[in-house]
Structure 1
């Protein structure tokens, strides 16, 4: 395999769902999983197509309780195409499938540069001998509504007919995630099909409650020779186009299927079906579609690619590929957030969590217009977040832990433990720290892009309303002389209550409190910096009384952070919990990543132990440099020097099971600065998370988008120490031997293609020629200014 391709040799039903996720093709508007075209959904395969932002809400009865869930909808299957041999006497062979007929060889090749998936295989027929097949597909990056599949069948020594069946299948449900099987999963209603002209099928339907219209049209055509027969067969939920094509040695049968997809959420159309029919009727042929698709990707790669030698570089490029397929330039025109599992599967129901915290750091300096669109998704849902805060008796904005179409809280009330088969309460909606993540993203986007207009308008509205929520959530405890935030859940997620407590929630979660302090401090800074007229207009718009600001200042300086044994406590009382016998559990179980499920199945609870699912306190080291973190604690009157932080890192390293793909990523970045010798094992785990499916079957339900984007940020920010603040690029490179060479380009303050490259102990900064102002670059021991058209080479210290 080259640095630009991923190949999967052979056919193994057990690995199909993993490969299907990793071979998903998309363009930011929609994506289609890498299932073989002849397959239908079952235990082995899961062909599926998802359009960004197309959600639907259904009611189910679970464990005797009525629950309502909103899901990213599995749309009609456009990919379905199968074939069989037709003999001279009119008889036919079986429809080909590797599940029923073992191929002689079978290979999938994912070409990252061209964004195509090629499948090649050969099979032997008792009468026809050996036939070879090549199928190439794409989801067009230039035109976000198009996809195409070319199938070429070649006979070595036989002449006859090839019968091809091309289908638009509306008889689909959401069935990618097995543990959701007891839920209502049929989202599509009013399915209609029909034929248009001589070679086009169409299908239209609507989502049952969100009432989103979906229009799909498919043109199936023979290339180089006409079919001997062609018949369009629309039916109630499926539309079938059946063709018979002559095939002979040296004369392969070539069939192109071109598909257009529109929904009623699209702009500049009259109706989805009409738009799809117009689109497919005027679409170019397959070779021309490939050319324009590859050209669109070439433009993307020029500005976004990361260059790292070796296997790590191959994996990073795969990660970037999937980030760009989910969040492409087309995303800038959509009202969508960052789906935690991409557009690749149905885990987490396609919801938006806090994953943009790990994604925007990379996008801000590559595709800032996409970052802005993702922040606009949050701003449009600010009124909903304010209503949620009022319903909870709070001021400001309380954003949901899981968001979907309209910004209400979509977190499920129950979740299934597959080990015990029991449905349990889900208290993760108490992760109010998602608001701090949104505020952090607003600030970082504006620092990176210089978008002062956004910071002073929509960004300011979100930042101040989130600060307002934190100030109002803080309760003063006279006995401690400090404010406390109580009844929350931190990033850890294992701990959602105290042992035997009647109510869920924890007090004084360190991550929640420190990030709340950061939000309050940034909000106060912004208020002071705003022009007087804008400050007045903003205060009037969000009905903010300037009399609230003194409390913001006080809370930002007197919020409590607990400590025990000389380390930062994850939450109040964490140090009083029992210690877990980690060695015993590692010996007894193959994997203890989901320790919560193991203990619950044993009749125990992880709430009793000092055991965390993922980085919680250590997330502070992911978001903030050591200087900024020390300043935040100093603001609160705590002295957290390097020694306290090192002890804290050591403490939680021994008590974390890494039940989330984000955990290894965060630990890798933190250790790159705290304990470099141990960093690589965590970085390597983060790189392997999806390609090796280290969570045990979860990648088949969708890639982990935050972790993929986070590995790119680990190179961009973790290894370089890159920060964008005070109108400068701040760099503090760390030597990580396994990633000692790297290069990437940035868009910064109007400069397109600022090159950053490290090799042989040197850091090279190249600023392309333009009319923009010079860039100030600040390192720990010096500051330089690099003018457009110049390259600056900096010799780095050895340690």
Structure 2
């Protein structure tokens, strides 16, 4: 990382997939992996282009069973551009000597630049420079500029540009037993000497895709068509030391797009009207500059560089263009095919960041869930429950997409997958509804779609809760918690665990907050909602009871991950680390040994400690108090210590949550986990997974760690609440946010002070709440929070200080 660039020096085949993921370019509508245009999909390289929300469903024969999966589709490859000396081999890093190779991802402008020098023999060299953009202003455009320079020779160079519809979904090795050919009816053609096109459709979802490419070169080319490919050839005359340029401009549409009649016609028309590369680059840079202003982030050092890269990839996956789409939060971005492009609970780690910068995007992502509310209610009914049971993995239409089998690559065995029992995804959706409305002040959404989702999620939890006469408590049985390792009791014939603490506490939170929303609804709207859903006072009374009497298990003075957790065996962590080194996927290791992680007090990632991630200490204590438990500081510290030593961190989210929690519980150890979260993808700590797609939740979560975690920032009760916990390793940084109509509110933590500046506007003042006092900042004012002995003390400016515009 060099300031605002991300750079790779030299050609390294072993790192190609990782580089391609981290050099992906996108605009919230579609994204293309950072593969070299002269390379095809093979065991080293994997070009891939993905449109948000473009899925297809296929059935495969696996382990003697028919398995149905829905995948985000790898669409036709628009990148191909290869070159050679006439009569020679096509040049590429695997076929020709690479004298120099340098790739630079320019974060400020969203440009991927590569410079390569190929040796041609006899002292001859071909220097290639490329600049690539996926346009941030026009979401349907992309462009590739290629500059060729002959060194030590002159002569012809053949160049071939293509659109390739023969692609498959083959980017994840463990999925290769599954049918990956999602495209059919591939046709190609041309509309002008410089313009070719390709159209196709997905096999079952019947999404029509249209691409058109325009090639600008010094000499005209010839177009021909192969099976699956539209190809344009041109021959350049190179003169030693003189640069020759070829520009390729592409337009991409699908039949899911609004305001078009046909995706192919739209693509051909758009590429024909597109300006040249220089003008496209200028408007693209302007769009990126606007995004960076809205998401202003000033963090020094290595951490700041990684955070900018994380923010870059968040914005490429979920940009303002996303607000016009019916899509959710893909857990692996638009960067690869891992998790099949599905939507999990990762929005829990993404929306809190977006709420304070791009609330219109958060609202659209919540609309994705609301549009699938009926499907979630149907799933609950099919399971014999009331309310809404949202799927653990969601795709196009909101049905449960979690596979029933998963492959353990260590043992080679296909095993039952019970992760669909992670019903806490519903609580994550409810939490995001609440957080979005608190941050944006969007009462219209809260009173309409938000209230509808909250009601049905609360109804589901209340119906799941059964009364236990022995415990005199309500219990929620047969679930899987965020840990994911534990999906059954040792020796049990069926899956599921009872009284997962995280599930029960968040269910209680959903019930209590839904009751609060219903109480504050305007009476006409409340009546409408009750009539539509059959809600009555007796049901509300039940919710009140359940929200106060859900069972929370404890053992030996700590919160139990689930009922019976304290009876499980202890694992010899030292022995397993000595034997295997990396034990992040302890579940696979034990299964390959003929054992099961269900026997042990061992977690893949934060589970109970997720409560400390979602809720401030005061709010968490209040939740436990409502449930009839006293959660004091000693109990929480013991709980943190217990799970800290029994977690393998097999998820990129684990380091993030532990860093967040430890910043308040054990500050000296927090930074180690913060670094783990920061480096999770760039260092590929999970061992090869980043090459299959980045981990969007972890990337957005690190941004939110700086934004909310270390500042103690909460948007609650119409105020900004602050309780800073600066870490020695990250004690000086600043950022801007958007809060209830205020654009560019600046916060800066530095040298024991927290400064807040509210830009001039006609908005209402902002209430700032601290542990022991509050203050009101008018637009155009700034204030300073002095941190003395960890006790925040407010020093309000004596006179109004003008605040400069956000630059």
In structure 1, the partner of 2:84 is 84
Q: Deviations over 1:369-417 (max 9, x none)?
A: 0000000000000000000000000000000000000000000000000
Distance across 2 between alignment mates of 1:448 and 1:686: 25
In structure 2, the partner of 1:109 is 104
In structure 2, the partner of 1:25 is 25
In structure 2, the partner of 1:180 is 175
The one of 303, 312, 325 equivalent to 1:312 is 303
Residue aligned with 2:406, SS: strand
In structure 2, the partner of 1:343 is 334
Distance across 1 between alignment mates of 2:344 and 2:268: 36
In structure 2, the partner of 1:654 is 645
Distance across 1 between alignment mates of 2:147 and 2:375: 52
The one of 465, 470, 481 equivalent to 1:479 is 470
In structure 1, the partner of 2:703 is 712
In structure 2, the partner of 1:509 is 500
Q: Any conservation in 2 of the 1:157–1:248 contact (CA below 8 Å)?
A: no
In structure 1, the partner of 2:794 is none
Distance across 2 between alignment mates of 1:24 and 1:604: 39
TM-score normalised by L of structure 2: 0.97
Does residue 203 of structure 2 align to residue 213 of structure 1? no
The one of 584, 587, 593 equivalent to 1:596 is 587
Give how far 1:543 is off: 2.5
The one of 261, 266, 270 equivalent to 2:257 is 266
Distance across 2 between alignment mates of 1:679 and 1:474: 36
TM-score normalised by L of structure 1: 0.98
Does residue 50 of structure 2 align to residue 59 of structure 1? no
Q: Deviations over 1:29-77 (max 9, x none)?
A: 0000000111111100000000000000000111111110000000000
Distance across 2 between alignment mates of 1:595 and 1:760: 42
Residue aligned with 1:218, SS: strand
Measured on the aligned residues, the alpha-carbon RMSD in Å equals 0.8
Distance across 2 between alignment mates of 1:127 and 1:435: 66
Give how far 1:235 is off: 2.5
In structure 1, the partner of 2:795 is none
Matching of residues 8-23 of structure 1 within 5 Å: 8-23=8-23
In structure 1, the partner of 2:801 is none
The one of 289, 296, 311 equivalent to 1:298 is 289
In structure 2, the partner of 1:130 is 125
Q: Any conservation in 1 of the 2:96–2:120 contact (CA below 8 Å)?
A: no
The one of 397, 404, 410 equivalent to 2:401 is 410
In structure 1, the partner of 2:91 is 96
The one of 375, 388, 394 equivalent to 2:385 is 394
| C-alpha distance 631-161 of structure 1, shift in aligned 2 (>3 A) | same
Q: Any conservation in 2 of the 1:436–1:516 contact (CA below 8 Å)?
A: yes
Q: Any conservation in 2 of the 1:389–1:396 contact (CA below 8 Å)?
A: yes
Q: How many residues align?
A: 790
Q: Any conservation in 1 of the 2:424–2:503 contact (CA below 8 Å)?
A: yes
Does residue 25 of structure 2 align to residue 34 of structure 1? no
In structure 1, the partner of 2:46 is 46
Give how far 1:544 is off: 2.0
Distance across 1 between alignment mates of 2:593 and 2:269: 59
Distance across 1 between alignment mates of 2:389 and 2:250: 41
Q: Any conservation in 2 of the 1:761–1:798 contact (CA below 8 Å)?
A: no
Distance across 2 between alignment mates of 1:636 and 1:230: 74
Does residue 779 of structure 2 align to residue 788 of structure 1? yes
Unmatched runs of 5 consecutive residues or more in structure 1: 87-91
In structure 1, the partner of 2:557 is 566
Give how far 1:127 is off: 5.1
Distance across 2 between alignment mates of 1:798 and 1:63: 62
Q: Deviations over 1:434-454 (max 9, x none)?
A: 000000000000000000000
Q: Any conservation in 2 of the 1:305–1:317 contact (CA below 8 Å)?
A: no
With 12-21 and 95-104 compared, the bigger mean Cα shift is at: 95-104
Q: Any conservation in 2 of the 1:420–1:601 contact (CA below 8 Å)?
A: yes
In structure 2, the partner of 1:683 is 674
Give how far 1:125 is off: 1.4
Give how far 1:93 is off: 2.2
Distance across 1 between alignment mates of 2:84 and 2:323: 43
The one of 162, 173, 197 equivalent to 1:167 is 162
Q: Deviations over 1:616-654 (max 9, x none)?
A: 000000000011001111111111111100000000001
Distance across 1 between alignment mates of 2:283 and 2:517: 45
Residue aligned with 1:266, SS: coil
Residue aligned with 1:739, SS: coil
Give how far 1:94 is off: 1.6
Distance across 2 between alignment mates of 1:154 and 1:251: 6
Give how far 1:124 is off: 2.0
Distance across 2 between alignment mates of 1:547 and 1:63: 49
Does residue 415 of structure 2 align to residue 420 of structure 1? no
In structure 2, the partner of 1:70 is 70
Give how far 1:791 is off: 1.3
Give how far 1:590 is off: 2.2
In structure 2, the partner of 1:89 is none
The one of 736, 739, 752 equivalent to 2:727 is 736
Give how far 1:782 is off: 2.4
Unmatched runs of 5 consecutive residues or more in structure 2: 791-807
Q: Deviations over 1:506-532 (max 9, x none)?
A: 000000000000000001111111111
Distance across 2 between alignment mates of 1:689 and 1:190: 40
Residue aligned with 1:104, SS: strand
Give how far 1:128 is off: 6.8
Residue aligned with 1:387, SS: helix
With 371-380 and 772-781 compared, the bigger mean Cα shift is at: 772-781
Give how far 1:204 is off: 0.3
Distance across 2 between alignment mates of 1:425 and 1:241: 48
With 329-338 and 531-540 compared, the bigger mean Cα shift is at: 531-540
Matching of residues 546-557 of structure 1 within 5 Å: 546-557=537-548
Residue aligned with 1:796, SS: strand
Give how far 1:245 is off: 1.2
In structure 2, the partner of 1:581 is 572
Give how far 1:14 is off: 0.4
Q: Any conservation in 2 of the 1:613–1:658 contact (CA below 8 Å)?
A: yes
Distance across 2 between alignment mates of 1:99 and 1:544: 66
Matching of residues 225-240 of structure 1 within 5 Å: 226-227=218-219, 230-240=221-231
Distance across 1 between alignment mates of 2:572 and 2:97: 48
Residue aligned with 2:482, SS: coil
Give how far 1:195 is off: 1.1
Residue aligned with 2:455, SS: helix
